[in-house]
Structure 1
Amino acid sequence: MTNAQDKIVFPDITYAGSPRDVVIGGINVSGMSGYEDYMLTGISGLTVGQHIELPGTAITEAVKRYWKHGLFSEVQIAADSLVGDKVYLHISLKARPRVSQINYIGLKKSERQDMEQKLGILKGGQITPNMIDRAKILGKKYFEDKGFKNADIEIQQRDDVASKNEVILDVIIDKKEKMRVRNIVIEGNEKLSNLRIKGGLFRKGAFAKTHEAGKLATFLKSKKFTPERWKADKQKLIEKYNELGYRDATILGDSVWNVDPKHVNVWIKVEEGQKYYVRNVQWVGNTVYNSDLLSHYLSLHKGSVYNQKLMDKRLSTDDDAVSNLYYNNGYVFSHIDPVEVNVVGDSIDLEMRIYEGPQAHLSHVRIAGNTRLYENVVRRELRTKPGDLFSREALMRSARELASMGHFDQEKVVPDVRPNTDDGTVDVNWNLEQKSNDQVEFSLGWGQTGIIGRVGLTLNNFSMANLFGKNKAHRGILPVGDGEKLSLGVQTNASYYQSYNLSYSTNWFGNKRPIQFSVGTYFSKSTDVSSNYYNTAWQNSYMNYLYGYNSYGYNYQNYQNYYDPDKYVKMLGVNVGWGKRLRWPDDYFTLSVQLSYTRYMLKNWRYFLLTNGNSNNLNLSIAINRTSTDNQLFPRQGSEFTASVTITPPWSLWDGKDYKNLATDIHSASYVKEQQEKYRWIEYHKWKFKARTFTALTSAQKTFVLMTRVELGLLGSFNKYKKSPFETYYMGGDGMSGYSYGYATETIGLRGYDNGNLTPYGYEGYAYDRFTLELRYPFMLGNTTIYGLTFVEGGNAWNDTKKFNPFDMKRSAGIGVRIFLPMVGLMGIDWAYGFDKYFLGQQQGGGQFHFILGQEF
């Protein structure tokens, strides 16, 4: 039992005497609310029952732990009492204040959001001096990166009178002026001129981001100065010297100083060294490929400039690099080390040391993310299957095929390759991001005939098997999963126009081979206006002429009151198609064949050579297509071309009719009957060629892309007296199939001119061409894709194939934008200016707006 006299309250512990060994009898914590005591005492490292010395290092170390933790502004540890050999400790703490509000002064809203992320100070968090110092450093670096080298940042802290132990931070920023480069001073450069280092107006220099302000040569270049840009450009300068053979080039010194509040000067001194050449190249360790073949791919021969950049590209970067010879044959573990084994004067001997390693086969090929598409539909597109030799070429081709399916985010179709060094195999993971590519269309417009409405549905992931209940467990609301396409649409103006279409297609007919199969049907009816409409129009035009309002042409009236159901054209058609992927010349080629039948039913229809009766069109189309683009929505590289011919039976060769004298006299009583007989079965041969190429101007993901297009078509006849009244070319405008004049014709766009104005009524197109240069730039890529474009375009159409002249062009230029939305498809708008006159030289294209919906122009 302890006596009362053994207890000492608030003992005086002095460092003058000898330390005393005691046991901690208890620990009390005060000054902190909202925290459990065991958490706070745990920070100290002290525990009840622990032997310590008074005075001693244990208490000192405990105080250090609290300070290191950073949560406290005051820390005291005192002995409340000593009872025999036991000490009872009292730990007094004061929490650092929390941030109740942050005010950013001197910044725009967008800059404030960026600063919040950069500084790392959050509302409700505790604030420390180190955090404030760090925030100042990060903030200054943020503005330096943006070109504000002299920016000042001050962070003021004041108590929040409305909240206990909370503070308000005022982040005061004076960005000052954005720094630009006044002069670039280069010393020591004899082999590389200032122009080749700095660059000119139309010439790229070694410096990519550092340019002088106020110079004509840098008019189109950024003049902003940041330390990171300067550091990167110094490295680019050395790389440029190395590329030209100066392998010893080095930077002896550089400096940057302020000239005025807006400008800096930069100075750099280089030592170029001498220029080196390749003398000998030897290959060591190669057993799969002989040295001559490897040297051919390397393209560095005796006497070549020692270009280190080119050597790296030829060894590993280019598509036809040396390393890809190995990667495409399973040697995924191989690597090549270029070694300089001898330097004599300005000549270097290179030894390419190759480690080939074993051939690797694919072990696992995993697919993830295909939430709406059956795995077998994805897997059949792959060129990478378990058990196959690893091939980089097959891997890249698989990525292209998956992207071109249209079911996944094309920007994220990237293989995850994982070599297994333990067993010499490779795993490939395809982490896909499914997107909805079904499209619903509902549109309304207004024309002379009133409201025009269209409703359409396109299912790009349709499943015919699920429709008939083969996979009832996976059927769901819509029969989807097999990647087939079902499209149906209705377009109508009620009285004047009706159109219905239904089509189905699959790229894997039978699910075993890449065989395309399609079938479709359509019906349309177009009705004309009565003769009173034209009589009224001519009367108004004549009155305008008399009173000086107009000198020629119709003054068109609204169609609503002139509907004539006895004037119409009806079209009923069916088609079936078959296609196959070819292996020669390469497997980007496809061959397709389509058999089509169309029946035209006309009554008092004034817009074709045939005005009354029925006509039949039975034709066979054969097309060769090659598509190697890397992306459906925004191709950066690759090409597309199609060559096709559509041919009907040459009925006139064996039916024995005299077409020269048939249906030529319009005033003849038998004219209508002869006309129907002449066009009962139409005949023609139709030839078309389309080509587009895509070239990325840089290697960046967001880059300018140059698209070029060449397109031409000819509609020929077997008998010059029996030219086809249908399948002609209707050219001009946006190129979208409308229901104005383009019935039973093929619409061809040429921006800068009104729809169909290059082949107006009475001048049906039997030949056309079109040439385009288009520069594109993406603003957004992914499920939603947006890109802008500017273009120059030229083309024309002719009423006679003999008049075809590719140099007789109607020219235009303009700008536009395209937006792809998953549920809507492609939309766009172009403004174009047509420079040339058309229709017998009477009218000029001028400025035109064109709207694009549901198709690539």
Structure 2
Amino acid sequence: MIRFILFIITSFLIAQAPPSFTLKEVNVEGNQATSDNMILYTSGLKNGQKASTEDFRRAVKRLWELGVFSNIDIHFDGETPDGILITIEVEESPVLGEVIFIGNKKLKDKKLKEELAYHRGMRIKPNFTTKNINQIKKLYMEDGYFNAKITAESIIVDKGEDQKNDIVFTINEGKKLKIKDIIISGHENNFGWAATKSWIPLPKSIRRKLSLSKLRWQLKDTKIRTWWRFWASAYDSKKFQEDLNSLNKYYRDEGYRDFTILSDTVFYEPKKRGLVVKINVDEGNKYKFRNFTWEGHSLYETDILDNTLNLQSGDTFSKSGFDEAVYQNVQSLYMDRGYLYSNIEPSFTPIGDDSLDVHFSITENNQVYIRNINIYGNEKTRENVIRRELDVFPGDLFRRTLLQRSMRKLHVLNYFDPTSLSPNVVPVDEDEIDLDISLSEKSSDKASANIGFTGIYGMTGGANIEFNNFLGMGQMLSLGFDVGTQVSVYNNYGTPGKYESVHLRFVDPMFRDTPNRIGFSLFYTFRGQGNSYYFYPFDMLTRGGSIQWGRRMKWPDDYFRSRWEFTIQQRVYMGDDDVLNDYVGNVRKTTGIQIAQILTRDSRDRAEFPTQGSTATLVSTFSGGALGGDENFHKHVLTLDWYTPTFWKFILTSQIKMGTIRMLNVGDGKFSYISPYERFIMGGNGIPYGTMLRGYPDNAIGPLTSQGRGIGGNTILKYTNEFRFPFSENPVVYAMLFAEAGGVWNDSRLMHSLGFPRRNPIELKRSAGIGIRFFMPMIGQLGFDMGYGFDDITGDGEPQGWEYTIIFGR
């Protein structure tokens, strides 16, 4: 409390008071740490000065603003012929020692100290505790604790010349309150599919509820807690503001261009024992486009601009759709011809209550050229590896589409954190710019376990070291040694493991910075038979090598790649003669000489978690025949993948895989053979080879022997759909719902001669389930799937049921 005591004491002095007084003497009392001179200088009062009552008020205000005093008095001490005597009496505020918090669990001391405005040694103003109690309450309310109680106590810890006090805040947090109701007042129109269809016979009250539900759905993180939505989180003020922006966006995308949120409040409702969120809105009118007009355009005719805009008279106004049409579609026309500084300014004219005329004023400006391209952040990757992926070059006319394509290529390399890749345009002058490309490298190398596990068959796989950016030169070097988990039944061959594999693989995707791909591989594999892991009742040893050459293509577009691989391998079969007769015709050793053409098209935007684009891969293999060797066949496998963004962050991934293998007719008297290991197998995790079909045991789909062993097929067909939701971009973590169906047969003809389907989706083995994937540095992909097989594969007439699969490194 500030007391200002003036010297108007006697009625005489009141009656005779002049407009100003001469200060004969100004004294200071009560100060201990603050000097007299400091107080006098700040007050502006001094001996011999003419002073008025306004000067006294101003003196008190100045002293108070120092923040040093808790009380200030000015006393009248008497009068002399030369003037009056006054005393400035002050009471100094204590110095702040420690701030102590008691009872806080949800908000830690560090968080509270960061948010409160104080520091040790400062003077404690009278409003210090009240101000900080309110700030602490605000922090708790933002976190959903609306019933938090906070008290403060000042404790003297040092009564010296500068009194020091500790402030103790005692906090009773209470319970975190859930949202019990969301009220949107001012909501007059209907929203959502069912509520807006007049031909659906619904009462008005039901339409209102459906509309309100649709609006509440736009609040992604602000949800009403109910027994069936038990996961709904508590109120979060920051997320609530984001949700208000989402609601605003929804209205504007539904045609309500003038929509406004008038107010929003959150309060505790004792009767509901929870929070009520109230949003007051003004929806405004719903608009449709009427006419579009243009001015300032010389490069393009009006018809071209109208077609590129792709908005029609009668279309409902959508803010995001309009912005995309103008700033993505139309402005791209200009930016792809170098008009980086082109500007399109739309103006809206409401016509009546429901129509908009839109006029576009275009300023084309000058064409802009790229002067320099600067790359920052590549500590390991050599600059030439980055530059060779760019479709823009110094001296080129700026083209936005080519810049976007270049960024996509850098994304797909998978050497860099996708959230860090950002081109920055730096103006040089009216005609030139510099491009600064900032990136942050991530580890793309893998030390992968490459292990699978199923509930029935146990562990499979091995270990590999894979350098995907070897020495920063963009080359791939892979070294691997894989081993199975069971012991061969043919121990006389000295084979201690059920599965052994060693390989060395090297690929340079752009040899000497040209669009040529070269590579080679050497491999040795032993696969032993067993009751669980592999279905053939004999052992096999494979050794060989391959070389490859490929090219990046420009036609049909530059998403295409092609390569050719030439492979020579020898296979040695070991086992009982009768068994070998049944499975491989008593063959003991074969030589396979084959050439494969791999044609791919990859337009994905990212490597690990694509959100759009597609991949297509066609692998055609020709073995034997004119090439020589004992294995004579041609094999063709087509795999198609699509990535489609749906709503929010959900991505729909679809895949079709189909393939066939046929024996070559090499003439009478000549040996012709297809190795069983070239045939198609399916089921389980598909590791270390084969095709995944979750919900079924490993390698269990397809033709079987009389003993129930799989023998592989020469035709494969599989459909997969996955609904993916990302949790993290770096490292990539996502969950999925999946549904898939597939089959393997011993007939390469999927159609009869009359054209009727031989197989249909009902005959495929179907499954569905859930899964999760992690992409970890130096490990690669880790995954866990739970799949339910809907079909019988054992002959007992019962569904296969649940199977779980763990995947490492695939």
Give TM-score, length-normalised by structure 2. 0.77
In structure 2, C-alpha distance between the alignment counterparts of 1:102 and 1:119, rounded to whole Å: 13
Deviation at 1:521, TM superposition (A): 0.7
Report the AA paired with residue 219 of structure 2.
Answer: K
Report the AA paired with residue 764 of structure 2.
Answer: M
What's the CA shift string for 1:479-520, capped at 9, x where partnerless?
x12121111012246713432100111111122x23222211
Kindly indicate whether the alpha-carbon contact (under 8 Å) linking 1:198 and 1:205 is maintained by their aligned counterparts in 2: no
Matched, 1:626 2:636: no
In structure 1, C-alpha distance between the alignment counterparts of 2:357 and 2:449, rounded to whole Å: 70
In structure 2, C-alpha distance between the alignment counterparts of 1:504 and 1:840, rounded to whole Å: 46
Report the AA paired with residue 523 of structure 1.
Answer: Y
Matched, 1:517 2:524: no
Indicate which of 625, 630, 636 corresponds to 1:681. 630
Matching of residues 107-126 of structure 1 within 5 Å: 109-112=105-108, 116=112, 119-120=115-116, 124=120
In structure 2, C-alpha distance between the alignment counterparts of 1:395 and 1:44, rounded to whole Å: 68
In structure 2, C-alpha distance between the alignment counterparts of 1:602 and 1:114, rounded to whole Å: 69
Could you say what secondary structure the match of 1:731 adopts?
coil
State the match for 1:469 in structure 2: none
Kindly indicate whether the alpha-carbon contact (under 8 Å) linking 1:731 and 1:749 is maintained by their aligned counterparts in 2: yes
In structure 1, C-alpha distance between the alignment counterparts of 2:326 and 2:523, rounded to whole Å: 54
Matched, 1:614 2:621: no
Matched, 1:732 2:731: no
Report the AA paired with residue 644 of structure 1.
Answer: V
Could you say what secondary structure the match of 1:165 adopts?
strand
**Cα 1:375–1:526, aligned 2, differ >3 Å: closer, same or farther?**
same
After TM superposition, the structure 1 stretch with the greater mean CA deviation from structure 2, 432-441 or 493-502, is 493-502
Kindly indicate whether the alpha-carbon contact (under 8 Å) linking 1:99 and 1:122 is maintained by their aligned counterparts in 2: no
Matching of residues 286-325 of structure 1 within 5 Å: 286-301=297-312, 303-305=313-315, 307-309=317-319, 312-317=322-327, 319=328, 321-325=329-333
Could you say what secondary structure the match of 2:690 adopts?
strand
Kindly indicate whether the alpha-carbon contact (under 8 Å) linking 1:73 and 1:96 is maintained by their aligned counterparts in 2: no
Could you say what secondary structure the match of 2:801 adopts?
strand
Could you say what secondary structure the match of 1:724 adopts?
coil
State the match for 1:768 in structure 2: 716
State the match for 2:550 in structure 1: 579
Matching of residues 32-43 of structure 1 within 5 Å: none
Kindly indicate whether the alpha-carbon contact (under 8 Å) linking 1:136 and 1:154 is maintained by their aligned counterparts in 2: no
Give TM-score, length-normalised by structure 1. 0.73
**Cα 1:234–1:787, aligned 2, differ >3 Å: closer, same or farther?**
closer
In structure 2, C-alpha distance between the alignment counterparts of 1:311 and 1:451, rounded to whole Å: 51
**Cα 1:190–1:138, aligned 2, differ >3 Å: closer, same or farther?**
same
In structure 2, C-alpha distance between the alignment counterparts of 1:371 and 1:285, rounded to whole Å: 47
State the match for 1:795 in structure 2: 742
Matched, 1:594 2:595: no
In structure 1, C-alpha distance between the alignment counterparts of 2:308 and 2:295, rounded to whole Å: 16
In structure 1, C-alpha distance between the alignment counterparts of 2:224 and 2:458, rounded to whole Å: 59
**Cα 1:404–1:445, aligned 2, differ >3 Å: closer, same or farther?**
closer
Indicate which of 645, 661, 664 corresponds to 1:715. 661
**Cα 1:100–1:192, aligned 2, differ >3 Å: closer, same or farther?**
closer
In structure 2, C-alpha distance between the alignment counterparts of 1:69 and 1:455, rounded to whole Å: 71
In structure 2, C-alpha distance between the alignment counterparts of 1:219 and 1:787, rounded to whole Å: 22
Greater RCO structure (CA 8 Å; 6+ sep): 2
**Cα 1:236–1:604, aligned 2, differ >3 Å: closer, same or farther?**
closer
**Cα 1:604–1:364, aligned 2, differ >3 Å: closer, same or farther?**
same
**Cα 1:368–1:41, aligned 2, differ >3 Å: closer, same or farther?**
farther
Report the AA paired with residue 686 of structure 2.
Answer: G
Could you say what secondary structure the match of 2:367 adopts?
coil
Report the AA paired with residue 730 of structure 1.
Answer: I
Report the AA paired with residue 380 of structure 1.
Answer: R
State the match for 2:201 in structure 1: none
Kindly indicate whether the alpha-carbon contact (under 8 Å) linking 1:199 and 1:205 is maintained by their aligned counterparts in 2: no
In structure 1, C-alpha distance between the alignment counterparts of 2:746 and 2:212, rounded to whole Å: 44
In structure 2, C-alpha distance between the alignment counterparts of 1:185 and 1:498, rounded to whole Å: 70
Deviation at 1:268, TM superposition (A): 5.7
Deviation at 1:353, TM superposition (A): 0.6
The gaps in structure 2 that reach 5 residues or longer are 1-5, 9-16, 76-86, 159-163, 197-206, 485-494, 751-757
Matching of residues 241-260 of structure 1 within 5 Å: 260=271
In structure 1, C-alpha distance between the alignment counterparts of 2:395 and 2:457, rounded to whole Å: 64
In structure 2, C-alpha distance between the alignment counterparts of 1:162 and 1:347, rounded to whole Å: 72
State the match for 1:499 in structure 2: 501
In structure 2, C-alpha distance between the alignment counterparts of 1:573 and 1:247, rounded to whole Å: 68
Indicate which of 146, 152, 156 corresponds to 1:157. 152
**Cα 1:63–1:583, aligned 2, differ >3 Å: closer, same or farther?**
farther
Matched, 1:754 2:697: yes
Kindly indicate whether the alpha-carbon contact (under 8 Å) linking 2:144 and 2:176 is maintained by their aligned counterparts in 1: no
Kindly indicate whether the alpha-carbon contact (under 8 Å) linking 1:44 and 1:66 is maintained by their aligned counterparts in 2: no
After TM superposition, the structure 1 stretch with the greater mean CA deviation from structure 2, 92-101 or 805-814, is 92-101
Could you say what secondary structure the match of 1:411 adopts?
coil
Could you say what secondary structure the match of 1:398 adopts?
helix
**Cα 1:156–1:772, aligned 2, differ >3 Å: closer, same or farther?**
same
State the match for 2:13 in structure 1: none
Kindly indicate whether the alpha-carbon contact (under 8 Å) linking 1:77 and 1:92 is maintained by their aligned counterparts in 2: no
- For the aligned residue pairs, the C-alpha RMSD in angstroms reads 5.0
Kindly indicate whether the alpha-carbon contact (under 8 Å) linking 2:177 and 2:234 is maintained by their aligned counterparts in 1: no
Could you say what secondary structure the match of 2:773 adopts?
strand
State the match for 2:614 in structure 1: 639
Report the AA paired with residue 478 of structure 2.
Answer: S
In structure 2, C-alpha distance between the alignment counterparts of 1:188 and 1:451, rounded to whole Å: 61
In structure 2, C-alpha distance between the alignment counterparts of 1:308 and 1:492, rounded to whole Å: 58
Could you say what secondary structure the match of 1:729 adopts?
coil
**Cα 1:165–1:810, aligned 2, differ >3 Å: closer, same or farther?**
same
In structure 2, C-alpha distance between the alignment counterparts of 1:47 and 1:826, rounded to whole Å: 72
Kindly indicate whether the alpha-carbon contact (under 8 Å) linking 2:721 and 2:739 is maintained by their aligned counterparts in 1: yes
After TM superposition, the structure 1 stretch with the greater mean CA deviation from structure 2, 331-340 or 224-233, is 224-233
Give the fraction of aligned pairs with identical amino acids, expressed as a percent: 26
**Cα 1:346–1:180, aligned 2, differ >3 Å: closer, same or farther?**
closer
In structure 2, C-alpha distance between the alignment counterparts of 1:249 and 1:446, rounded to whole Å: 55
Could you say what secondary structure the match of 2:678 adopts?
coil
State the match for 1:551 in structure 2: none
Kindly indicate whether the alpha-carbon contact (under 8 Å) linking 1:100 and 1:160 is maintained by their aligned counterparts in 2: no
State the match for 1:692 in structure 2: 641
What's the CA shift string for 1:530-565, capped at 9, x where partnerless?
xxxxxxxxxxxxxxxxxxxxxxxx8x9x99xxxx9x
Deviation at 1:800, TM superposition (A): 2.7
State the match for 2:97 in structure 1: 98
In structure 2, C-alpha distance between the alignment counterparts of 1:244 and 1:622, rounded to whole Å: 50
What's the CA shift string for 1:556-579, capped at 9, x where partnerless?
9x99xxxx9xx7422112111122
The gaps in structure 1 that reach 5 residues or longer are 1-12, 79-87, 463-479, 530-553, 656-679, 738-745
In structure 1, C-alpha distance between the alignment counterparts of 2:391 and 2:343, rounded to whole Å: 24
State the match for 1:68 in structure 2: 65
State the match for 2:803 in structure 1: 848
**Cα 1:634–1:130, aligned 2, differ >3 Å: closer, same or farther?**
farther
Kindly indicate whether the alpha-carbon contact (under 8 Å) linking 1:604 and 1:612 is maintained by their aligned counterparts in 2: no
**Cα 1:617–1:297, aligned 2, differ >3 Å: closer, same or farther?**
same
**Cα 1:495–1:251, aligned 2, differ >3 Å: closer, same or farther?**
closer
Matching of residues 218-297 of structure 1 within 5 Å: 260-261=271-272, 262=274, 264=276, 273=285, 277-278=289-290, 280-297=291-308
Kindly indicate whether the alpha-carbon contact (under 8 Å) linking 1:21 and 1:54 is maintained by their aligned counterparts in 2: no
After TM superposition, the structure 1 stretch with the greater mean CA deviation from structure 2, 190-199 or 631-640, is 190-199
**Cα 1:198–1:389, aligned 2, differ >3 Å: closer, same or farther?**
farther
What's the CA shift string for 1:137-172, capped at 9, x where partnerless?
555555555566xx2444322244767522211233
Deviation at 1:389, TM superposition (A): 2.0
After TM superposition, the structure 1 stretch with the greater mean CA deviation from structure 2, 178-187 or 642-651, is 178-187
In structure 2, C-alpha distance between the alignment counterparts of 1:246 and 1:450, rounded to whole Å: 59
In structure 2, C-alpha distance between the alignment counterparts of 1:455 and 1:271, rounded to whole Å: 61
Deviation at 1:337, TM superposition (A): 1.4
**Cα 1:413–1:270, aligned 2, differ >3 Å: closer, same or farther?**
closer
State the match for 1:603 in structure 2: 574
Could you say what secondary structure the match of 2:380 adopts?
coil
